[in-house]
Chains A and B, each alone.
Chain A
Amino acid sequence: SYILTQSPSVTVAPGQTASISCGGNNLGAKSVHWYQLKPGQAPLLVVFDDSDRPSGVPERFSGSNSGNTATLTIRWVEAEDEADYYCQVWDSTSDHPDVVFGGGTKLTVL
């Protein structure tokens, strides 16, 4: 089965830029989606199809995907951005597509 690898944690100061990476074999050939998960809340889709942003998500959130790495970038980080972030792909290489999540990255805002 397909595996997505994320660093466990990222720490940034308010106003700085956070980069959260997601690694996978030939990941650039897949569409990557990113979710924000805060305690007691439902996951929130913040980037889909590598770099598109759902309506209502601040422009500070952006994404890219190339080679074996996808990246979620959060500019001008705010305290409210502190959360766990998960990447996800739809692995359709087998006869039954699997939903695959990365292990998650905890973003801490100092």
Chain B
Amino acid sequence: QVVLQESGPGLLKPSQTLSLSCNVSGDSIRWGNYYWAWTRHHPGTGLEWIGYIYGNGNTYYNPSLKSRLTISVDTPKNQFSLRLKSLTAADTAVYFCARGHSGYGRIDYWGQGMLVTVSS
């Protein structure tokens, strides 16, 4: 059973930087035909893909967030992380980390999600 768990601060101020980590157990980030993704769900709106990373460190970002976003992987710790700078209220959302399958792209395991609020 693969388990993903997000961690990080839940409340930040505008212009600050969000740093979230996702700890993975039951699978190795380094191996396999998977990508490791961040998505978010805005209150009252839909799911938004943020970006993803492979075990070899290759990353792919949502173009709308690319200028503010960094996703990295720590294979010894079996974790991957998100860093989103210059926050605004529009970044308030529930952030999910997840495992996706390369090829056809389905996402089969998700973290429980973490509410991040950006407010002054």
Contact = CB atoms under 8 A, between A and B. Distances in A.
A97 B112 contact: no
Kindly name the residue among A43, A86, A92, A103 whose own CB sees the greatest number of chain B CB atoms within 10 A: A43
Interface stretch (B10-18, B44-52, B79-87): B44-52
Nearest to B64: A1
Contacts of B111: 42
Given A102-B46, A103-B46, A48 B106 contact: yes
A59 interface: no
A98 B103 CA distance: 12
Contacts of B34: none
Interface in A57-110: 84, 86, 88-90, 92, 96-104
B65 interface: no
A96 B46 CA distance: 23
A109 to B, nearest CB: 20
Interface of B: 37, 39, 41, 45-49, 52, 60, 62-63, 96, 98, 100, 103-108, 110-113
